[in-house]
Every structure is written in structure tokens, then in C-alpha cells.
Amino acid sequence: MNLFFYIAAAIALITTIMAISGRNAIHSLLFLILSLLAVSVIFYLLNAPFIAALEVIIYAGAIMVLFIFVTMMLNIGIEGRTEKKWLNPGMWIVPSILAAVLLADFILAIKHVPASHSVDQIILPKQVGISLFSTYLLAVEIAAILLMAGVIGAYHLGSQKKKVTHRFLKKN
């Protein structure tokens, strides 16, 4: 079991690195989907099968697909010429240093986590569902409102009204 975890982790890391350093947007997105699938495997190994399913269905299946559709709509060119121009190796240094500092902080911070109990127990969707609709009912309703707000907002933001500029403001 541990082996599967390490393999999935490695796949997730490698595909994430490929995703963020890619030149082609579609390729990067596809790598990202792979990374999400690997993480979903890890979720399953962590005794959360319901969440693993949700990860694939919603995250990789809806959100990433939305990304891909928008990227295809924007038609930003497959060659990635501009990406090459923008992405010189020198740019990686400073963020990497910062990330290293944060990583060091992170490692120092997690040294004091207590060990887990030995009994292993799968958390079934039923438990999650009961918890969701009894303890966290209010949060569910708020999340629903949030989704509705998102729908309405996205509809308005996406509308392409022809902008009418006054004739004095037109630059001709």
C-alpha cells in the first residue's frame, strides 16, 4: 500500500512540474488533469473513496474541462512563441528560493504532529452525508448560495455588450 502511495505521489509531483513549466497551455492543462487523477488515487488510499470520486468527477471532470474550453476559445496559439519569450530560466531562481524558505518553515512546523492510532477505518459516504446535512447544514446552504452567485456573476461578466463610447471619447 505504501508503494502505491509513493508512486502516486511521484506521478503527481512530476506532472505538476510539467504543468507549470510547459509552453503549450493545452498540454499543461492535460498534465494538470493527470496530476489530479494521481491525487485522487492518494485520496482513495487515504480511506476516502467518496472524495476520490468527487475529485475525478468535479475537479478533473468539470473545472479542468471548463479551463480547457476557455483556453480553446481564446485561441492563444499552439506554438507557444510568446511563452518562450516570457519564460527564461533566470526567472525561476527567486521564486524557487522563496519556495525553499517556505518549505524549510513548513518542515520545521510539522515536526510536532502526534502519531495516528492503529485502527484503520474507511469513512463511508454515508458518514460524510450525515455529517454534511446535520452538523454542517448551514454551510451547505451558504455554499449553494455561493454557487448561485457564481452562476449569475459569470453570466454577467461573460456578456460581451458592444461598448458604446461617446463620439467625443472616440479616438479616431
Partner 1 sequence: MTTFIALIPAIPLLGFLVLALFGQKLTRKTIGYIGAGSIGIVALLTFIAGIEFLKSLPQVKSYSVVIWEWINAGSLKADISFSLDALSLVFCFVITFVGFLIHIYSIEFMAKDEGFSRFFAYMNLFVGSMLILVLADNILLLYLGWEGVGLCSYLLIGFWYKEPVNGYAARKAFIITRIGDTAMIIGIIILFLSFGTVNINDLMQQASEKWVAGSSIAVLTAALLLGGALGKSAQLPLQTWLPDAMAGPSPVSALIHAATMVTAGVYLIARAHVLFSLAPIVQTAIAIIGALTLLIAGFSALAQHDLKRILAYSTISQIGYMFLALGVGAWSAAVFHFMIHAFFKALLFLAAGVVILVLNEEHDIFKMGGLRKKMPVVYMTFLIGAASLSALPLITAGFYSKDAILWYSISSETGNTLLWIAGITGAFLTALYSFRMIFITFFGEAKTQPAFLPGKMMTIPLIILAVLSVIGGFVELPQSIGEIHLFSNLVYNTLPAVAVKESGHSEILFQAISAIIVLAGIYLAYTVYLKKPALSESFNHSRLNKFFEKGWGFDKLYDVIFVKPVVWLSEIDKNDIFDWLNVGISRLTLLTNHLLSITQNGKLRWYLMSFTIGIALILTYMIFR
Partner 2 sequence: MLTVPVEIQILFAGILFLLGLIGLLVRRNMIFMLMSIEIMFNSAGLVFIIASTHWKQPDGQVMFIFILAVTAVEVAIALAILLQVYHHFKTLDADSVNKLKDHN
Site for partner 1 in 100-159 (CB under 8 A): 101-102, 105, 108-109
CA dist 25 and 112 (Å) reads 40
CB of 112 to partner 1, least distance (A): 11
Residue 78 identity (one-letter amino acid) = I
* Cβ atoms of residues 36 and 52 within 8 Å: no
CB of 101 to partner 2, least distance (A): 10
CB of 110 to partner 1, least distance (A): 11
Place of cell 454551510: 139
Place of cell 518549505: 103
Among 3, 74, 93, 94, binds partner 1 (CB under 8 A): 94
Contact track, partner 2, 92-131, x by CB under 8 A: x-xxx-xx--xx--xx--xx-x-xxx-xxx-x---xx--x
Residue 114 identity (one-letter amino acid) = P
96 touches which of partner 2, partner 1, none (CB within 5 to 8 A by kind)?
partner 2
Among 7, 19, 53, 108, binds partner 2 (CB under 8 A): 19
CA nearest neighbour of 63 among 21, 35, 23:
35
Helix (H) or strand (E) holding 19: helix 2-20
108 touches which of partner 2, partner 1, none (CB within 5 to 8 A by kind)?
partner 1
3-state SS of 72-139 is: HHHCCCCCCHHHHHHCCHHHHHHHHHHHHHHHHHHHHHHHHCCCCCCCCCCCCHHHHHHHHHHCCHHH
Contact positions with partner 2 (CB under 8 A) in 44-103: 45-48, 50-51, 54, 58-59, 62-64, 66-67, 70-71, 73-74, 76, 82-83, 86-87, 91-92, 94-96, 98-99, 102-103
Q: Using CB under 8 A as the criterion, which residues of the chain lie in contact with partner 1 when the complex forms?
A: 94-95, 98, 101-102, 105, 108-109
